[in-house]
Amino acid sequence: MSHPLTESELEPEQAAFRKVVASGCGFSRVIPRGAIVRIVDLEGNQAVDTLFYSAADPSERYSATATIVAQNNLYLTTGTRLMSSEGRVLLTIVADTCGRHDTLGGACAAESNQVRYALQKRFMHNCRDTFLLELAERRPHMNKRDITSNINFFMNVPVTEQGGLTFADGISAPGRYVELRAELDVLMLISNCPQLNNPCNAYDPTPIEVLVFDDERGAA
């Protein structure tokens, strides 16, 4: 079930930083405590695989388990506190015009593409490789051990009554966004998903935009 939508009071021209991230590309940036980051689904139904870490110590990172337990909900939306592996709040979702985001489906990988779809799909571009390429270029002290359970913003992964996961058509639309306030200095790592084999992005990966506002008022 989707939750009521919550719009932001911030205007894009107030952003201190803006970047369009093409489908299949990686992105990383430190979001200072108190700053707000907005992720925009520019064309609709794109899946944005995202990881968060404490910028001071990346061994402390987003925990899907702690987040689900803290809010007693499988899905993320306005008001959700993203919890760390040390039990601290990394970020809080402060606006959301999509209504629900997945925290169970994980990131596509060469191995999962092979198992889920076909042997020949193993060599297709995937989010795990994008994460690793981004880390190798910008965070060489981090490696594959740092790729843990991620958030899939805008992705629709319903849970069946038997407890299984299904990948369904997205519930997002062009221009919808999610906005998060950093409660600590946070490293954000994004793989803008290149997946072509399931309907999460209508089989058509598209770009996103990332905006950073220096504080709740958006002042640069």
Residue 13 lies in a domain: no
- Number of structural domains, the chain? 1
**Tens-place pLDDT, residues 154-206:** 987 656 666 666 666 668 899 999 999 999 999 999 999 866 556 666 677 89
pTM score, whole prediction: 0.87
Residue 27 lies in a domain: yes
* Torsion on CA atoms 26, 42, 97, 126, rounded to nearest 10: -30
Residue 3 lies in a domain: no
And the tokens for 214? Answer: 């220096």
Residue 5 lies in a domain: no
Domain with 38 in it: 20-213
